[in-house]
Structure 1
Amino acid sequence: MNTSTQARYSKGAMLFHWVIAIAVIANWRIAEAAEHAEMPAKAEIFGYHKALGITILVLTIGRLLWRWAHPVPPLPSTLAKWEAALARTVHVIFYVLLIGLPIGGWLANSLTGRSVDMFGLFTIPPLPVGMNEALGKSIFDLHGLGGEIFIYLIALHILGALKHTFIDKNGGIFRMLPFGKV
């Protein structure tokens, strides 16, 4: 039987989770702000979106490395099979999007001849893929669609955590917090 400590994620996993979660939501809001801005402010705001996207990619790689070195707690045994399958599927899709969206954004920028300025600290050059404006635009469109899907999955994830915590009373959200009863 799991004790409260064994049922929780490690402190490192918690830190990665919450920093990435905040960064993803902030980056979504930055992209929304950029979409409604006029040039040249639009380009400047998208610059922050790109830099934060690459930061999220680096954090996600760190999180995956951490996860491989620190086992995750098992899902609560009280979950229905469909809930466990949905949780695992959503988590896999999260990782695909956390890696795929920044790489897709970098690729689309590269295809349109743009580098990524990392908050004025350094510049990430375009990938060596040549210019292809049409393909770059298509990838930008897919990037936007992936971002929308991500936001809906985040909402589903939050609703699931709240359901497990307050309806099922299995302390679901406290698995990823250093306090509360699991």
Structure 2
Amino acid sequence: MTDTATARRYSTGAMIFHWVIAVAVIVNWRIVENAEQLEGAARGAAMGNHKALGITILALTIGRLLWRWTHPVPPLPSDLARWEAILARTVHVIFYVLLIGLPLGGWTANSLAGREIDMFGLFTIPPLPLGTNEDAAKSIFGLHATGGSIFIYLIALHILGALKHTFFDKNGGIFRMLPFGKVPG
């Protein structure tokens, strides 16, 4: 890999954070979607996994942000239209807001419902010291679900953009976030 290609590609750490978080988010979405068809203990177990994975995503996102602040991010491809660059930056900011806000919102709602979060049987995270308020918990859970739906649509937009840039614009697109493939100079 040339220095020019390296400068246009994300760092290995950024790639690892990106793909681990991406897989975790998709798995967490599938867990909650499947939990909707379950009842009783099976639903509770699935939702327990959803909550624990959400907190894991929060921790990984904090790690990713720390990595991002200490490692240079490659510039966007120079052939992007202004609106594409603005859209790319906006979607990335919203991703970070959701990657932090959704787990915090879920933890807040669980706390207001008086529930702790079991981290895959390893340890528990206690409720935040907010007292209990079932109505507020229900409202926050509703916002959490809406935010999750918005996140899935933005992920689809992100994937379509990466594919467009890779196969139509041929400017490196997805290969900027992979350790292989051509990233034009």
Give me the TM-score of the superposition, normalised by structure 2. 0.97
Aligned to 2:130: 129
* Counterpart code for 1:161: A
Task: Indicate the SS of the match to 1:87.
Answer: helix
Q: Secondary structure at the match of 1:36?
A: coil
Superposed displacement of residue 14, structure 1: 0.1
1:41 is the counterpart of 2:62: no
1:69 equivalenced with 2:67 (yes/no): no
Distance in 2 between the 1:10 and 1:57 partners? 21
Which blocks of at least 5 consecutive residues in structure 1 are unaligned?
none
Matched, 1:162 2:163: yes
How far apart, in 1, do the equivalents of 2:181 and 2:5 lie? Answer: 9
Question: Does residue 133 of structure 2 align to residue 109 of structure 1?
Answer: no
Q: Which residue of structure 1 aligns with residue 178 of structure 2? A: 177
**What code does the residue aligned with 1:77 have?**
S
Identity of aligned residues (%): 78
Partner of 2:40, secondary structure, is coil
The CA deviation at 1:108 is 0.2
Q: Which runs of 5+ in 2 are unaligned?
A: none
* Alpha-carbon distance in 1 for matches of 2:125, 2:172: 42
Alpha-carbon distance, 1:73 to partner: 0.2
Separation in structure 2 between the aligned mates of residue 171 and residue 64 of structure 1, nearest angstrom:
23
Partner AA of 1:78 in structure 2: D
Q: TM-score, normalising length from structure 1?
A: 0.98
1 CA distance for matches of 2:102 and 2:129? 18
Q: Which amino acid aligns with 1:112?
A: A
Superposed displacement of residue 4, structure 1 = 1.1
1:82 is matched with 83
Residue of structure 1 in register with 2:11 after alignment = 10
Q: Distance in 2 between matches of 1:47 and 1:35?
A: 13
1:11-58 deviations in Å (ceiling 9; x for gaps): 000000000000000000001111111111111100000000000000
Q: CA RMSD in A?
A: 0.7
The one-letter code matched in structure 1 to 2:162 is A
Count of residues in Structure 1 that have an aligned counterpart in Structure 2 = 181
- Partner amino acid, structure 2, of 1:181: K
Residue 82 of structure 1, CA deviation: 0.0
Alpha-carbon distance, 1:156 to partner: 0.1
Structure-2 residue corresponding to 1:147 = 148
Task: Please name the residue that 2:92 is paired with.
Answer: 91
Partner SS for 2:182? coil
Give me the whole-angstrom Cα distance separating, in 2, the residues matched to 1:80 and 1:88: 13
The Cα offsets for residues 85-126 of structure 1, whole Å up to 9 and x where unpaired, read as 000000000000000000000000000010000000000000
- For 2:35, the aligned partner's letter is A
What SS does the aligned partner of 1:25 have? helix
